[in-house]
Amino acid sequence: MDFNFSEDIEFLRQNVRKFVREEVEAVAMEIEEKNEIPQKIVEQSKEMGLFSLGIPEEYGGLGLDMVGKCAIYEELGKTHNGYTTLIGAHTGIGSVGIVELGTDAQKEKYLPKMASGEWIGSFALTEPSAGSNAANMKTTAEKKGDKYIINGSKHYITNAVDGHVFTVMAVTDPSKGAKGITSFIVEKDFPGFILGNVEDKMGLRGSHSAELFFEDMEVPAENVLGEEGRGYVNALKILANGRAGLAARNLGSSKRLLEHCLDYASEREQFGQPIIEMQAIQHMLAEISKEIAALEALTYKVAWMTDQGQRVVKDAAIAKLYGSEVYNKVADLAVQIHGGIGYMRDYPIERYYRDARITKIYEGTSEIQKNIIANELKREMK
């Protein structure tokens, strides 16, 4: 067994850490206030290659394996989660479909521009009537000659506002249920593509989620992603691939919160001593540290299993579930350790507390993760 990162990954990670610490942390409060990520940071991130993490080298990407991606995601998790989400959704569910399922022509057309960050990727599955029950979608795609005509709507779509390339799921054969769903690569400039309302969220400020409407939107037949009728399976595959990455981001945020807690507890004095000398605070810090250690081991084990080509459906769901639970617990304890100041907007702790909440909901709720885990357990018994 070897728990070390390769020299390359370690070097990449240190450089990303430096960038995050010096540049992104410096504007974290500004992102929160303006609900906008400064363009300078986005451009610097593109120049650094942060938008290209998982895209193969032949298409201008870094071609990192899952362990490498998770190491970078962990560093990106240590700062404003809205910024992390812009990159995470692009390099994760927003581009993985094309990387894994795309034809050579599709990869050549989309991946180089996605690797450079010129085109931002997004994943559009959720609809008002199709959340956890994704197969219940109403958006339809009807084939007409060498085109598909798509009608319907999506909502809560991360990166919808900045997005250029969308992986969109739509029903091509309503008689077949989940097997009648197909995935498409949709560009925002396709006629009939309409950006709807931008959601006002509790957290993840700077990352914009919105509604999408498709009105007789024309999509060329060559933009079918994977096989027709395999859209639902594709969506599940794309989501499964992203789960270890989400765990890594939550790991980074939890570690950052521990740093904040240690700093604050060492400085804050009550009853004539720094509160870090008090057992109640020490136990909270120990609890945070314990959870981080367990999440770290789990995250990188799943990433390693993915790179070994092992089946990770159950383990990735466990990592996603546990990562969100750890992050929420750590954020709650961090507010408690900070006391009043942890509740104030001019200090970053309450921001993490709000940002943590969505991690139990997006990319498959905790309940869905438990269903996946249980189904895999039943499958393993056979």
**Cβ nearer to another protein, comparing 16 with 224:** 16
Total residues in contact with another protein, by rule CB under 8 A: 17
Segment contacting another protein by CB under 8 A, of 4-12, 74-82, 184-192, 259-267: 4-12
Q: In terms of C-beta density within 10 A (0-12 exposed, 13-18 middle, 19 or more buried), how is residue 23 classed?
A: middle
| Residue of 26, 33, 43, 47 interacting with another protein (CB under 8 A) | 47
Q: Are 334 and 261 in contact (CB under 8 A)?
A: yes
Is 228 a residue of the active site?
no
Per CB under 8 A, 49 contacts another protein: yes
Q: In terms of C-beta density within 10 A (0-12 exposed, 13-18 middle, 19 or more buried), how is residue 69 classed?
A: buried
**Cβ nearer to another protein, comparing 52 with 126:** 52
> DSSP states of 294-351 as a string?
HHHHHHHHHHHHHHTT---HHHHHHHHHHHHHHHHHHHHHHHHHHGGGGG-TTSTHHH
- Find the farthest-apart pair of alpha carbons in the chain and give their distance in angstroms, rounded: 79
Which residue among the candidates 350, 363, 376, 380 is catalytic per the annotation? 363
| Residue of 12, 86, 168, 319 interacting with another protein (CB under 8 A) | 12
Mask for 50-89, x = binds another protein (CB under 8 A): x-xx--------x---------------------------
**Cβ nearer to another protein, comparing 12 with 130:** 12
Q: How far is the CB of 80 from another protein (least distance, A)?
A: 17
| Residue of 29, 35, 36, 44 interacting with another protein (CB under 8 A) | 44
Q: How far is CA 173 from CA 85, 129, 141, 177, in A?
A: 33, 18, 8, 8
**CA pair distance 355, 375, nearest whole angstrom:** 29
Residue given tokens 């438990």 in the structure block = 370
| Residue of 29, 48, 149, 278 interacting with another protein (CB under 8 A) | 48
Residues known to be catalytic: 363
Binding site for another protein (CB under 8 A): 7-8, 11-12, 15-16, 18-19, 23, 44, 47-50, 52-53, 62
